[in-house]
């Protein structure tokens, strides 16, 4: 399996706060990789640094064989790496369809192609198709999360990084979002999935990392993590 993303010895700080202290991880082609850890562990900082929004103090980030450690957020999106940040940052006064059109801002070949991409998103999320004319702000929490993911998928990413996509959602909706992530992955997109809901994440992930205080403390196949006593005690509830 080829490596799409390699993070090596990553150090990131905010003023005096050392958020990442030598973090290493990889994502392989067509993998779902879960990033687990407690509040403040450095999960969001990791994906924000990969997406170029936050700068590394040391270490390197390689994507598809190229060094992107100092690349701009724009050029990282152009390389097919898309970040869906924490919280559902959709435009509440715009319709579902208009929100999805904004996901096509990096698509250079014009409107027709964007509409085709949006059709594929509607195939993935039939709930969005049914609600295409509805204002984003009137969607349920789960539907808003699907819209945020769908908008990222309009860019047809090679790697999608999702920051806590199931936060605050009811168990049934968590399962729907997780199902959508599996479909996205099966369609050929690699996934880096940040989750507090370790149980749900390790059900769909191929591999996982536990981050603590800016470092990886446990890494392995999802099945190994599910069986690891430390992971069970700290993140899965004995």
Select 45 or 69, whichever has its Cβ closest to ligand ATP.
45
End-to-end CA distance of the chain: 34
Q: Which of 192, 202, 216 is nearest to 31 (CA)?
A: 192
Site for ligand ATP in 19-58 (CB under 6 A): 19, 37, 39-45
Residue 111 interacting entry, from Mg ion, ligand ATP, none, C-beta within 5 to 8 Å by type: none
The contacts of residue 223 (CB under 8 Å, 6+ apart) are none
- Give the shortest CB-118-to-ligand ATP separation in angstroms: 30
Task: State how far the Cα of 59 lies from the Cα of 104, in Å rounded to an integer.
Answer: 32
Task: State how far the Cα of 129 lies from the Cα of 119, in Å rounded to an integer.
Answer: 8
Backbone angles phi, psi at 49, to 5 degrees: -75, -40
- Give the shortest CB-162-to-ligand ATP separation in angstroms: 12
Residue 37 interacting entry, from Mg ion, ligand ATP, none, C-beta within 5 to 8 Å by type: ligand ATP
CB atoms within 10 A of CB 225: 25
Q: How many residues does the chain have?
A: 238
Q: Which residue in the set 7, 33, 44, 117 belongs to the binding site for Mg ion (CB under 5 A)?
A: 44
Residue 19 interacting entry, from Mg ion, ligand ATP, none, C-beta within 5 to 8 Å by type: ligand ATP
- Give the shortest CB-56-to-ligand ATP separation in angstroms: 13
Binding status of residue 166 toward Mg ion by CB under 5 A: no
Give the interface with ligand ATP as residue ranges (CB under 6 A): 14, 17, 19, 37, 39-45
């Amino acid at each position: 399996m080829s490596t799409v993303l390699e993070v090596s010895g990553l150090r990131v700080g905010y003023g005096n706060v050392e958020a990442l202290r030598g973090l290493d991880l990889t994502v392989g082609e067509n993998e779902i990789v879960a990033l687990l850890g407690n509040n403040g562990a450095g999960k969001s900082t990791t994906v924000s640094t990969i997406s170029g929004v936050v700068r590394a103090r040391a270490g390197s980030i390689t994507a598809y064989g190229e060094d992107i450690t100092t690349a701009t957020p724009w050029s990282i999106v152009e390389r097919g790496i898309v970040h869906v940040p924490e919280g559902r940052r959709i435009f509440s006064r715009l319709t579902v369809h208009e929100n999805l059109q904004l996901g096509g801002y990096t698509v250079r070949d014009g409107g027709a192609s964007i509409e085709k991409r949006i059709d594929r998103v509607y195939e993935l999320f039939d709930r969005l198709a049914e609600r295409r004319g509805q204002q984003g702000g009137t969607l349920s929490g789960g539907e808003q999360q699907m819209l945020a993911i769908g908008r990222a998928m309009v860019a047809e990413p090679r790697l999608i990084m999702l920051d806590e996509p199931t936060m605050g959602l009811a168990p049934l909706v968590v399962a729907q979002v997780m199902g959508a992530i599996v479909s996205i992955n099966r369609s050929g997109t690699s996934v880096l999935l940040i989750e507090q809901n370790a149980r749900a994440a390790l059900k769909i992930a191929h591999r996982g990392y536990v981050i603590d205080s800016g470092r990886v403390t446990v890494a392995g196949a999802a099945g190994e993590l599910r069986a690891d006593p430390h992971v069970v005690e700290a993140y899965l509830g004995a």
